[in-house]
Every structure is written in C-alpha cells, then in structure tokens.
Amino acid sequence: MFGDERPMIEVFREIGGSQTPIEKYERGKTIFFPGDPAERFYFLVSGAVKLSRVYESGEEITVALLRENSIFGVLSLITGNRSDRFYHAVAFTPVQLISVPIEQVEVALKENPDLPMMLLRGLSSRILQTEMMIETLAHRDMGSRLVSFLLILCRDFGEPTPQGGVKIDLKLSHQAIAEAIGSTRVTVTRLLGELRDKKLISISQKHITVHDPISLGQQFA
C-alpha cells in the first residue's frame, strides 16, 4: 500500500515505473489540445498549468490554474480511455510534470486501496480551483476579475512576506494575466497600475506582492 505519508511524486513514479521521466514544458507550450485522445494521467511536479475551454465562437476561457502537486487529465480515468480531451492544457509558467498511461493507473487503483482516496483529494482540489475561476470570470467588470484572480494566486501560490503581505511565487507577464481573465494586456497594465498607485500591490521582476489581501478584496466588495 502507498500510505498517506508518501509524497505524490513517489506514488506516480511507482505507478509509471522507476524510469518514468520528468517532462519539461516552456511557458506557453501546449500539454494537450481539446480533441486529443484521453490516454494519459498527469501529475504536476513544479510550475503552473492553465486549463481552459475553447468554445465554438473561438473564445477561450480559463477554468483552472493548477499549482505543483496537482493532478489533471482525470477524464481518461472517468471514461476508461473512450473519450477525447475537452480542455486545453498549457504551461502557464515553465513546467515539470509526470504523465502515466491510463492503463497503468487503472492497475494501480485495483492493487492499492490507498490510491483512490489520494487521487480523490487531488481531484477535489482541482474542482475547487475551477469553481473559484468560474466565480472570477463571472464578474463583468475587469477590475473585479483582476482582483479576484490575484486573490486566487495569493491562496495557491502565495508566500508570506516579513511586512505581512503575500508575494505571488510566479513570474507573471501582463499578457499572461490578460489571457487568464479574458482581458487585454493594455487593460491589465492600466488596472495593475491603479492598484499599485493605491499601494495595494507592488511589482518587481514580474513578481506581484499583495500588501494586504483583505484590503485588496474590499476594493470590489
């Protein structure tokens, strides 16, 4: 049995075999496209992955921004490898991940009674992320979208600062933020400038620090 104390990366290496390689993707590179066969299961070792839906109109909507130790590609488990992907998975930052053929995961699920609960916890976290992103994109006002997105990043990628703020441990270009919230780079640049002028955030080398998340959230309460 795996046991709850085992790091997930060790579990995935055991499922995939000792020679399972760590795959690397540069920022902006696609991990899988909508319509690709759902044949593999993924574990995010480091970095951030953006999951989005592409609609017939051509609009692409972000549904989750996954952090390290997240699992994704679960459709292959649910459908038994009889369906295609309907998400677009892209490296939001430089990414390292492990992917395992669905057949090997299915065998491991039958042989190790602890594994289903571990995967369920990972899936629950993914669902919560999706719900938060949907709430963020429900805001019609771009300022509200940006603030909500920054608060999500504080929760999932934040590191406390000595001054009591939260530094988002991701290098974020204005274009990347715009793509995530369905805006434009020009608009995001303007809105970030307004937040910086109010001394709610600071930006250094593409790292955003939120000085007081509560005060930031109250901007559009």
Q: Determine the pLDDT at residue 76.
A: 61
Same domain, 118 and 171: no
Split at pLDDT 50, 70, 90, the class of 30 is very high
Same domain, 35 and 120: yes
Number of structural domains in the chain: 2
Same domain, 15 and 87: yes
* Segment 161-211, tens digit of pLDDT: 998 899 998 888 898 888 888 888 999 999 999 999 999 999 988 889 999
User: Bridge-partner residues for 37, per DSSP?
Assistant: 84
Residue 134 domain-assigned (yes or no): no
Q: How far apart are CA 142 and CA 209, in angstroms?
A: 20
* Segment 70-106, tens digit of pLDDT: 888 876 666 554 556 778 899 988 999 988 888 888 8
Buried b vs exposed e over 174-193: b needs ≥16 C-beta within 10 Å? bebbbbbbebeeebbeebbe
Please tell me whether the overall predicted TM-score, pTM, comes out greater than 0.85 for this model. Answer: no
Q: Determine the pLDDT at residue 134.
A: 72
Same domain, 164 and 81: no
Chain-wide mean pLDDT for the chain? 82
Task: Examine the pLDDT at 107 and tell me if it is beyond 80.
Answer: yes
Residue 211 domain-assigned (yes or no): yes
Find all residues with CB under 8 Å of 48, minimum gap 6, and list them.
65, 66, 67, 68, 91, 92, 93, 95, 157, 170
Find the Cα–Cα–Cα–Cα dihedral 169, 173, 177, 182, rounded to 10°. Answer: -160
Residue 69 domain-assigned (yes or no): yes
Residue 167 domain-assigned (yes or no): yes
Same domain, 115 and 144: no
Same domain, 108 and 14: yes
What is the span of the domain harbouring residue 114? 8-126
Find all residues with CB under 8 Å of 189, minimum gap 6, and list them.
174
